[in-house]
């Protein structure tokens, strides 16, 4: 018996997150033989006393159950947690949260209610689109001559060779080998990105830095000279916009490089930095325990000194009217991705978001968060990323984990729960902009995860020597097609990590950061990604903001649905993760008249091929949940 489901409008209306001031109707159904004489909703806004709402008897539900109901209006944004109590012939009985948002008697878990600011809006230009992530040194090289390149770098002559991974003579990993990818090279490849259906290009750091990853910023005001100059950046953004592609850039604001114009530990820059002089205007940005050699640094890396983000001088430098955030939006960027958002104080994110929106109300502010961002706690503080005034959305690692878990043999119900839990917790305007990736510069390549042997605790030497065997690669490619199909169908925006669509392999950093294999792509896989991009464009009215439900998640079969209720149209995705054929019946779905959009035809055929999938479009009113 279902006593209450937080995900079903029969029991909670509306479901999901709500704006503050919205009335929510709660209903529970209880067995008549419990002799319930009173029932209560107990709801607590975090940090506030619990509130009780008496529920009222509202009639019978069949012959042996009864309805109890009440309304609740959350007065302000925040996280609320709730459960129910009933006075019964067996004493006070508690209804708490069980699996899949369903109620159980007993237990201590509560349901989460996310309440966001009334009027909270996010940019519309990304809705229904496709993102593409580029590691700038490794995507495309124009051959443009560069001047004034900083000292201390080495350069690969062979574009296709492996990145350096061995420590130097002092035993340090320096990340100072470069392949020479640049902004003009990216601009030259914009027609290629357009062919994939890309609408948003996300660039890893582009500012002057002295490592190939550029997360050790040396000068926020300058493009790294190996990438080009500010005019190259503006030209890239303008050319991309003509093709319907926006550009967002990486903001690394929790730390700088020690080898920077601000800290200047290595003495590269002529003006004294915080390491050299306590009179430096940048000195207050940093926390020295014993100046100059002992200071707070990012995860103990002395090359990455932490900054005090709320120090007035630093905050003005980044978020002021003429600060870094607004400057690069003026130069052509359409938004920022915030590195390690959980290490940025709330006040700093507030200021950054306000600065970005003041410069461009349509600017995107997206954060790196690896967990459920709606209830994330960091350094003892519950974060309010998605409640309005901070992030528009986040990187979506939970969906990545769910996709890989399903394809590698986990219980399919865990996939359904992971997806539906995020949908239940994230405001819809954030949900629809989620950066749904299955690989990034911080993770192993998707093809390697899906086809290769897990690296586990093995070191760089083992990882460097690995390539997929022909059999492993065949399996990995089959699973990657399925992973991408799921990724492109889920709520949010799929993000392709450069080269995944071409069949790049690689374990952890730096092996996941090889150069794009121009002229050596896996053409079949590339065609699959182009078909997925075309699907996103053709069915944007469904995928941009359409509802989601899991129709089947058991054994080797996953069936999910995206639907636009007003248009009366739906997309159904059928996935067989097995190397054996998989029946899709019984499913209680009438597929007559369904149009094949992608994959293999079904119709009268009710068996999916090994590692098969099918996307069907149904032009009718949506059936109720089976």
| Residue found by looking up tokens 């001031």 in the block | 21
Question: Measured on CA atoms in the order 295, 390, 236, 434, is the torsion positive or negative?
Answer: positive
Distance from chain centroid for Cα 449: 18
Return the sign of the alpha-carbon dihedral for residues 317, 320, 321, 325. Answer: positive
Catalytic (active site) residue 368: yes
- Specify the pairing of strand 38-45 against strand 78-88: antiparallel
Whether 497 and 203 have beta carbons less than 8 Å apart is answered as: no
Neighbours of 527 (CB within 10 A): 12
Cis omega (within 30 of 0) for bond into 131: no
Cα→Cα distances 426→148, 264, 386, 479, Å: 46, 42, 7, 28
What's the burial of 431, exposed, middle or buried (CB within 10 Å: 0-12/13-18/19+)? buried
CA angle 392, 246, 191 (to 5 degrees): 145
List the one residue out of 290, 148, 300 whose CA is nearest residue 219. 148
Contact between 487 and 403 (Cβ < 8 Å): yes
Which tokens is 502 given? 């071409």
Return the closest-CA partner of residue 372 out of 351, 396, 392.
Answer: 396
Q: Is 523 a catalytic residue?
A: no
In whole angstroms, how far apart are CA 305 and each of 71, 259, 260, 300? 51, 10, 10, 9
Query: How many CB atoms neighbour CB 497 within 10 A?
Result: 24
List % helix, strand, coil for the chain (3-state, nearest 5).
25, 25, 50
Please, is 258 exposed, middle or buried when counting C-beta atoms within 10 Å of its C-beta (0-12, 13-18, 19+)?
buried
Burial class (CB in 10 A: 0-12, 13-18, 19+), 571: buried
| Exposure string for 224-236, b = 16+ CB within 10 A, e = fewer | bebbbbeebbbbb
Q: Evaluate whether 479 touches 532 at the Cβ level (below 8 Å).
A: no
Long-range contact list for 458-465, CB < 8 A, 24+ apart?
460/165, 460/166, 463/165, 463/507, 463/508, 463/511, 464/162, 464/165, 464/511
Within 10 Å of residue 473's Cβ, how many Cβ atoms?
Answer: 19
Closest C-alpha among 222, 379, 344 to residue 365: 344
User: Taking the C-alpha atoms of 464, 470, 472 and 473 in order, what is their torsion angle to the nearest 10 degrees?
Assistant: 80
Which residue in this structure is represented by tokens 């078909």? 531
Choice among 208, 232, 309, 339 that is catalytic: 339
**Residue in 232, 259, 342, 368 annotated catalytic:** 368
Distance between CA 330 and CA 359 in Å, rounded? 8
Q: Pick the closest to residue 548 from 601, 619, 622, 480 (CA basis).
A: 622
d(CA 6, CA 14): 9
d(CA 253, CA 250): 9
Q: Active-site positions? A: 339, 368
């Amino acid at each position: 018996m279902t006593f209450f489901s937080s995900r079903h409008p029969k029991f909670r209306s509306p479901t999901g997150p709500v704006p503050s001031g919205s009335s929510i109707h709660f209903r529970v159904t209880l067995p008549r033989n419990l002799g319930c004489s009173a029932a209560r909703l107990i709801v607590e806004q975090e940090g506030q006393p619990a509130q009780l709402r008496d529920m009222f008897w509202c009639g019978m539900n069949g012959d042996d159950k009864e309805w109890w109901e009440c309304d609740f209006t959350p007065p302000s944004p925040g996280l609320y947690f709730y459960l129910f109590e009933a006075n019964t012939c067996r004493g006070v009985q508690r209804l708490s949260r069980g699996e899949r948002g369903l109620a159980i008697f007993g237990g201590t878990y509560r349901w989460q209610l996310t309440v966001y600011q009334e009027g909270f809006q996010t940019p519309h230009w990304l809705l229904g689109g496709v993102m593409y992530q580029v590691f700038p040194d490794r995507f495309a090289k124009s051959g443009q001559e560069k001047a004034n390149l900083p000292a201390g770098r080495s350069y690969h002559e062979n574009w296709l060779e492996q990145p350096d991974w061995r420590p130097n003579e002092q035993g340090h990993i320096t990340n100072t080998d470069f392949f020479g990818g640049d902004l003009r090279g990216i601009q030259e490849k914009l027609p290629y990105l357009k062919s994939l259906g890309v609408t948003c290009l996300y660039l890893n750091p582009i500012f002057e830095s002295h490592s190939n990853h550029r997360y050790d910023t040396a000068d926020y005001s300058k493009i790294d000279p190996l990438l080009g100059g500010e005019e190259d950046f503006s030209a890239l953004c303008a050319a991309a916009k003509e093709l319907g592609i926006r550009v967002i850039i990486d903001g690394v604001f929790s730390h700088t490089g020690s080898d920077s114009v601000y800290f200047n530990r290595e003495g590269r820059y002529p003006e004294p930095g915080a390491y050299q002089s306590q009179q430096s205007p940048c000195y207050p940005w940093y926390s020295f325990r014993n100046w100059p050699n002992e200071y707070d640094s990012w995860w103990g890396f002395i090359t990455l000194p932490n900054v005090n983000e709320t120090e007035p001088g630093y905050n003005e430098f980044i978020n002021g009217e003429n600060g870094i955030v607004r400057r690069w939006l003026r130069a052509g960027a359409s938004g920022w991705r915030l590195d390690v958002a959980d290490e940025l104080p709330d006040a700093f994110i507030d200021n950054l978001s306000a600065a970005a929106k003041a410069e461009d109300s349509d600017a995107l502010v997206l954060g790196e968060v690896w967990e459920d961002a709606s209830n994330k706690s960091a350094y003892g503080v519950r974060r309010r990323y998605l409640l309005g005034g901070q992030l528009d959305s986040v990187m979506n690692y939970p969906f990545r984990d769910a996709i890989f878990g399903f394809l590698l043999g986990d219980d399919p119900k865990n996939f359904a729960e992971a997806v539906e839990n995020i949908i239940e917790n994230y405001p819809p305007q954030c949900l629809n902009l989620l950066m749904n990736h299955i690989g990034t510069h911080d993770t192993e390549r998707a093809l390697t995860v899906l086809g290769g042997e897990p690296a586990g605790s093995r070191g760089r030497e083992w990882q460097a020597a690995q390539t997929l065997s022909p059999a492993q690669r065949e399996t990995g490619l089959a699973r990657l097609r399925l992973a991408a199909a799921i990724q492109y169908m889920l709520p949010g925006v799929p993000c392709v990590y450069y080269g995944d669509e071409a069949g790049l392999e690689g374990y952890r950093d730096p092996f996941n950061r090889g150069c794009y294999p121009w002229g050596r792509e896996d053409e079949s896989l590339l065609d699959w990604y182009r078909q997925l991009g075309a699907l996103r464009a053709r069915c944007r009215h469904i995928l941009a903001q359409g509802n989601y439900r899991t129709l089947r998640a058991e054994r080797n079969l996953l069936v999910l649905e995206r639907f636009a209720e007003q248009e009366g149209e739906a997309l159904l995705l059928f996935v067989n993760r097995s190397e054996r054929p998989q029946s899709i019946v019984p499913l209680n779905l009438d597929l007559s008249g369904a149009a094949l959009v992608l994959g293999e035809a079904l119709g009268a055929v009710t068996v999916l091929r090994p590692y098969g999938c099918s996307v069907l479009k149904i032009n009718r009113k949506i059936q109720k949940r089976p």
